[in-house]
Homo-oligomer: A and B are copies of this chain.
Amino acid sequence: MDKNILEDILQNNRKYIKLGEVATYIPQLAKANKEDLGLCIKDMNGDMYACGDYEKKFTIQSMSKVITFTSCLLDNSIEDVKKTVSFEPTSTAFNAIVDLEIKNRHRPLNPFINAGAIACISMLKENTYQEKFDRIINFIKLLSLNENIDYDEEVYESERKTGSRNRALAYYMQSTGIIDKDVDIEKLLEVYFKICSIKVNCIDLSNIALIYANNGVNPFTKERYFSKEVSKIVVATMALCGMYDESGEIAVTVGIPSKSGVSGGILSVLPSKMGIGIYGPALNDKGTSVAGLKILESVSEKFDLSIY
């Protein structure tokens, strides 16, 4: 892999920024610099290839669902997880409620839509809501090899204030028994919103992704953070459900299991090979970085990375 080629790819795809818009549902996201564009790739040898705004911080948003799902699988048997959330793709939007009602015995279709992630947090074994949050942020510090990970208080407050849809999803799941009736929905959502507000950059994402590419083992220290089985479940679910109702399209054009977030980040796992982090806050209409996606497509094509 050649840093100059990556630099070319980044610049060649910069033109797509103008096809997207920065998220505006909360003011803190609207303040993002639409022109930002960053890329970081890390391979098994520890070589890192980065360009653009790869050190810029942004909130992890839905990419956190990868870590939440992993944690949920560590605390519960697969059979128990499946009783609460299935692993099937959805052809509706990330915040749709319709599937909760008419399909799948009320289970969220997968852990990468909002309802699924909220249900996963409710299944974490910690006793208090604070402990649930601490556990996730500490896990992110571990996987990103970055002790300085923190969350953005303003984004959190803003998400919390405007989160009616997520409240609807959570209360709906409580009404059908997917979330236990004793759960304090407001406190559960505080954890969810706080997790979404954790700040990362492209290096952090590439480090996290690399652990999944290596089946749960830190390739440098050889430390195992989770089992190969858990890793494969998470990566397969990313491949099928990571990009919402655009997952099929992206499997065809990119072929690298990925999870995007509304802040403009993309976390991509190339099994046995590399971890990729991308940032570009201008989003397409599905809520994914528009230029980021084009960069990922170009990288996949240039280096023949599709797993299919």
Number of A residues with CB within 8 Å of any CB on chain B? 52
Query: Which of the residues B168, B171, B185, B247 comes within 8 Å of A240, measured between beta carbons?
Result: B247
**Do B97 and A172 touch across chains, with their CB atoms under 8 A apart?**
yes
- Distance between A102 CB and nearest chain B CB, rounded to angstroms: 6
The complex is assembled from copies of this chain, and their number is: 4
Residue of chain B at shortest CB distance from A110? B248
**Do B237 and A248 touch across chains, with their CB atoms under 8 A apart?**
yes
**Do B307 and A88 touch across chains, with their CB atoms under 8 A apart?**
no
Query: Which of the residues B98, B235, B236, B307 comes within 8 Å of A98, measured between beta carbons?
Result: B98
Complex-state Cα separation, A74 to B167, whole angstroms: 31
Complex-state Cα separation, A81 to B92, whole angstroms: 21
By a CB distance below 8 angstroms, the chain B residues around A185 are 164, 167
Does A146 interact with chain B (Cβ within 8 Å)?
A: no
Does A96 interact with chain B (Cβ within 8 Å)?
A: yes
By a CB distance below 8 angstroms, the chain B residues around A306 are 232, 236
Query: Which of the residues B91, B102, B104, B175 comes within 8 Å of A168, measured between beta carbons?
Result: B175
Complex-state Cα separation, A169 to B91, whole angstroms: 19
Does A3 interact with chain B (Cβ within 8 Å)?
A: no
Does A101 interact with chain B (Cβ within 8 Å)?
A: yes
- Assuming the contacts A240-B247, A306-B232, asked whether A175 and B171 have C-beta atoms less than 8 A apart, the reply is no
CB-contacts of A1-19 with B (<8 A): none
Residue of chain B at shortest CB distance from A244? B88
**Do B86 and A109 touch across chains, with their CB atoms under 8 A apart?**
no
Does A103 interact with chain B (Cβ within 8 Å)?
A: yes
- A155-187 vs B, CB cutoff 8 Å, 1 = contact: the mask equals 000000010110111111011000001000100
By a CB distance below 8 angstroms, the chain B residues around A68 are none
Which 9 A-B residue pairings sit nearest by Cβ, starting from the closest? Answer: A89-B89, A165-B175, A168-B172, A164-B175, A168-B171, A88-B248, A167-B171, A87-B248, A164-B174
